[in-house]
């Protein structure tokens, strides 16, 4: 067992098992974590559902079904399944395409019709997910370039914020994202003061509560969303939102009432009255082309987000358990189909709630099930309490969620990876805002392909990996990649590495010396594979990048094959200084040097009339810039005041830095 796994086992104990024996053994940990995740999930499920144009209770249906169904199908131990902010843009886009606008102005017959058509789309997309998983096609999640994926998520964040601002201000509005961005000043001019106060307080709490928790660790168990509810529900009661009435403020008249509250059942177990069935007529007549488009969107984006989330949670799982992505997609697809058949939203493996699940001490997948059971109990037994939650409070939570997706640090992080990555990121973001998710991510992929061609990647290697296999011995395989290692040919590349290392149990050496470009996505994925190999008890070694130039200082930046720039430092001094200077060169970082014995006379000797040839030593070292500066500083400070030396430095380009 690798050292890292030993350390984890020592810190957390034996690896928990996610079967019925584990259910009995770890129930205390899983119930506690499930309850704490429930406190986070409840308001988010309601808010996400309303933002999607579905009834509020639809999000609860989704989380309940996702929690119970996937627990018994997926082997993903710590992920929480449920509605996610990343799918809001697709869901509301689908509802609007069929003539609905969700909660804006009340849930009308047109909204209900669009909602039921969206459910039918969800069922078909779920069937595709099941087929996708059964066909073991989960590997396709490896195709998408990381910068484009992050750009898409940032764009989703912008759209969520823009669409929730009018809800938080008590203003009815809809439209395209760019149009709504232009209208933001108008929303503030027309805001309903009492609703805006609730929304504003909610936003402040969401942004300030993490700072409070940082300085008061005892409050870490209280999620920000719960604090928002504890503050804004009494505010809604004070403003008497349960009853429609008019009030005046600064000479203006405003109307408020229960339309600004979450619409929930008005009796115990009334949730069953809200079950809705899909309208499959959407797949006939004029709606068919639009329906097929949204099926594809639900299927592709939902599957991609779920795969990425499950992989991210595997990385931070204290016991380093690995999710079978094909099995997980089958589980998510099955739960999505069940959810859509009764009126629920699409779901994914949700990363924020999953991270909270780990932080709260969950051991097995049954924590996911318990969080669903708590949701079921709340909506079945206390629906009238949930009805008092102001829509503006839920909007404030989503504004914060959107901000986290498009945080300014995301731009800085991508820029540090490489300027070309920032270009792809921004192109995807703008493309999504200007068109839609599908075209936006295609634009991002297109921009990355163009940058690869500009960097000299041969067209023939864009979608085909050229690999040469050599067996060093029975335990070690050498895989030499030619032409390029980029996101578009990574799936075939990865399949070879996985077969050799994780299936056949061999150590693998990946030689990238002949690649003209190794892009950032491949660098990241190779790093992930290194960890997988280590956990499997074999080694993955990457070599051959010495002749490549990083496109930024980031450790996993793209590499382009090029001559490496170094500095050649040449020093001429009296022969007696040879040992002293050569020893100091090595101490200061030179990995080697050349010493040449010579004779000559400098300008000073010639001026003084001493033209005889003095015995001298000429030392040369080819070193990185920082080492060259150290050597020159040493010569300037410690040698030249006492001895006659000449020194010069020049920039040179070398084929392999390790040769010097």
* In a domain? residue 320: yes
d(CA 199, CA 430): 28
Tokens at residue 470, please? 């050599």
Considering the domain architecture, whether residues 631 and 532 belong to the same structural domain is answered as no
- In this structure, what token pair is assigned to residue 166? 């009018």
- Whether residues 437 and 555 share a domain: the answer is no
Least confident of 165-169, 445-449, 545-549: 545-549
**Boundary (domain end) residue, out of 510, 539, 560:** 560
Percentage of the chain lying above the pLDDT 90 cut: 73
Helices (H) and strands (E) in the chain, counts: 25, 14
Same domain, 431 and 368: no
Looking at the structure, tell me whether residues 569 and 469 fall in a common domain.
no
What pLDDT score does 621 carry? 94
Instruction: Give this prediction's pTM.
Output: 0.80
Looking up residue 554, the CATH number of its domain turns out to be: 3.30.750.24
Expressed as residue numbers, the domain containing 533 is 459-560
User: CA-to-CA distance for 163 and 51, rounded, in angstroms?
Assistant: 8
Residue 550 token pair: 């990083």
Indicate if 358 and 472 belong to the same structural domain: no
- Please state the domain count of the chain: 4
φ/ψ of 414, rounded to 5, equals -65, -40
> Residue 101 falls within a domain, yes or no?
yes
Is residue 48 located within the same domain as residue 189?
yes
What proportions of the chain, in percent to the nearest 5, are helix, strand and coil?
Answer: 60, 15, 25
Does residue 3 lie in a domain region?
no
Q: Do 438 and 500 fall into the same domain?
A: no
Q: Name the band, by pLDDT with cuts 50, 70 and 90, for residue 611.
A: low
Q: Tell me: the pLDDT tens digits for 56-66?
A: 999 999 999 99
Shared domain for 410 and 473, answered yes or no, is no
Alpha-carbon dihedral sign for residues 116, 119, 123, 125: positive
In a domain, 281, yes or no: yes
CATH number at residue 638: 3.30.70.120
What torsion, rounded to 10 degrees, do the Cα atoms 199, 200, 202, 204 define? 160
- 5: in domain: no
The model's pLDDT over 525-534, given as tens digits with 9 standing for 90+, comes to 999 899 889 9
Residue 12: pLDDT over 70: no
Span of 41-50, 314-323, 418-427, 457-466 with lowest mean pLDDT: 314-323
Domain final residue pick, 425, 450, 475 = 450
Does residue 13 lie in a domain region?
Answer: no
Range with lowest mean pLDDT among 98-112, 257-271, 413-427, 629-643: 98-112
- Domain assignment present for 75: yes
Mean pLDDT within 581-605 = 87
SS3 164: helix
The strand pairing partners of 564, in sequence order, are 654
- Is 168 in the same domain as 276? yes
Alpha-carbon torsion, ordered 354, 368, 398, 414, to 10 deg: 20
The pLDDT of 453-479, averaged and rounded, is 93
CA 284 to each of CA 294, 334, 337, 343, 536: distance values in angstroms, whole numbers, following the listed order:
14, 24, 20, 21, 50
- Shared domain for 33 and 89, answered yes or no, is yes
502 CB neighbour count, 10 Å cutoff: 18
What is the mean predicted confidence (pLDDT) over 73-95? 93
Residues 643, 495 within the same domain = no
**Does 206 share its domain with 140?**
yes
Last residue of a domain, one of 506, 539, 560: 560
Question: Is residue 10, in this structure, part of any structural domain at all?
Answer: no
Token pair in block for residue 422: 């920032």
């Amino acid at each position: 067992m690798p050292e890292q796994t030993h350390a984890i086992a020592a810190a957390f104990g034996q690896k928990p098992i996610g079967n019925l024996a584990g259910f009995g053994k770890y129930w205390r940990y899983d119930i506690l974590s499930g309850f704490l995740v429930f406190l986070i999930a409840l308001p988010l499920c309601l808010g996400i559902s309303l933002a999607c144009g579905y009834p509020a209770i639809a999000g609860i249906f989704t989380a309940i079904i996702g929690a119970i169904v996937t627990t018994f199908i997926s082997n993903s131990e710590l992920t929480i399944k449920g509605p996610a902010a990343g799918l809001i843009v697709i869901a509301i886009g689908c509802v609007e395409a069929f003539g609905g606008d969700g909660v804006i102005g009340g849930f009308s017959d047109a909204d209900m019709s669009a909602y039921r058509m969206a459910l039918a789309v969800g069922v078909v997309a779920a069937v595709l997910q099941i087929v996708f998983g059964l066909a073991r096609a989960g590997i396709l999640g490896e195709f998408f370039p990381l910068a484009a994926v992050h750009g898409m998520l940032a764009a989703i964040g912008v759209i969520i914020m823009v669409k929730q601002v009018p809800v938080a201000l008590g203003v009815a509005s809809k439209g395209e994202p760019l149009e709504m961005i232009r209208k933001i000043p108008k929303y503030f001019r027309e805001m309903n003061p009492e609703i805006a106060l609730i929304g504003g307080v909610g936003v402040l709490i969401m942004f300030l509560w993490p700072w409070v928790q940082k300085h008061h660790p005892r409050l870490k168990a209280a999620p920000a969303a719960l604090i928002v509810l504890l503050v804004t529900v009494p505010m809604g009661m004070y403003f008497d939102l349960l009853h429609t009435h008019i009030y005046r403020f600064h000479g203006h008249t405003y109307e408020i009432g229960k339309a600004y509250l979450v619409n929930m059942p008005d009796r115990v177990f009334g949730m069953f009255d809200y079950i809705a069935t899909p309208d499959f007529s959407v797949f006939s007549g004029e709606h068919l082309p639009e329906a097929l488009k949204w099926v594809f969107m639900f299927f592709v984006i939902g599957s991609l987000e779920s795969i990425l989330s499950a992989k991210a949670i595997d990385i931070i799982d204290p016991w380093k358990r690995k999710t079978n992505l094909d099995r997980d997609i089958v589980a998510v697809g099955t739960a999505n189909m069940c959810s859509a058949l009764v009126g629920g939203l699409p779901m994914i493996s949700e990363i924020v709630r999953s991270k909270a699940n780990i932080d709260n001490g969950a051991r097995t997948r049954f924590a996911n099930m318990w969080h669903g059971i708590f949701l079921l109990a709340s909506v079945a037994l206390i629906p009238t309490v949930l009805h008092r939650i102001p829509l503006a409070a839920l909007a404030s939570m989503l504004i914060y969620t959107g901000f986290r997706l498009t945080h300014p640090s995301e731009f800085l992080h991508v820029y540090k990876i490489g300027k070309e990555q920032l270009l792809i990121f921004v192109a995807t973001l703008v493309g999504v805002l200007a068109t839609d998710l599908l075209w936006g991510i295609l634009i991002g992929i297109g921009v990355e392909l163009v940058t690869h061609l500009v960097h000299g990647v041969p067209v023939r290697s864009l979608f085909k990996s050229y690999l040469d296999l050599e067996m060093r011995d029975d335990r070690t395989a050498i895989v030499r990649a030619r032409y390029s290692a980029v996101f578009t040919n990574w799936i075939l590349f990865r399949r070879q590495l996985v077969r050799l290392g994780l299936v056949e149990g061999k150590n693998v050496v990946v030689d990238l010396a002949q690649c003209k470009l190794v892009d950032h996505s491949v660098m990241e994925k190779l790093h992930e594979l290194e960890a997988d190999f280590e956990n499997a008890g074999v080694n993955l070694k990457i070599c051959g990048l010495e002749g490549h130039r990083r496109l930024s200082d980031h450790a996993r930046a793209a590499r382009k094959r090029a001559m490496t720039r170094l500095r050649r430092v040449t020093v001429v001094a009296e022969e007696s200084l040879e040992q002293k200077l050569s020893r100091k060169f090595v101490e200061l970082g030179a990995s080697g040097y050349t010493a040449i014995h010579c004779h000559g006379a400098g300008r000073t000797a010639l001026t003084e009339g001493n033209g005889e040839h003095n015995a001298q030593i000429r030392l040369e070292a080819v070193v990185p810039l920082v080492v060259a500066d150290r050597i020159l500083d040493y010569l300037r400070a410690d040698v030249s005041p006492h001895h006659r030396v000449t020194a010069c430095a020049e920039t040179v380009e070398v084929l392999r830095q390790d040769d010097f």
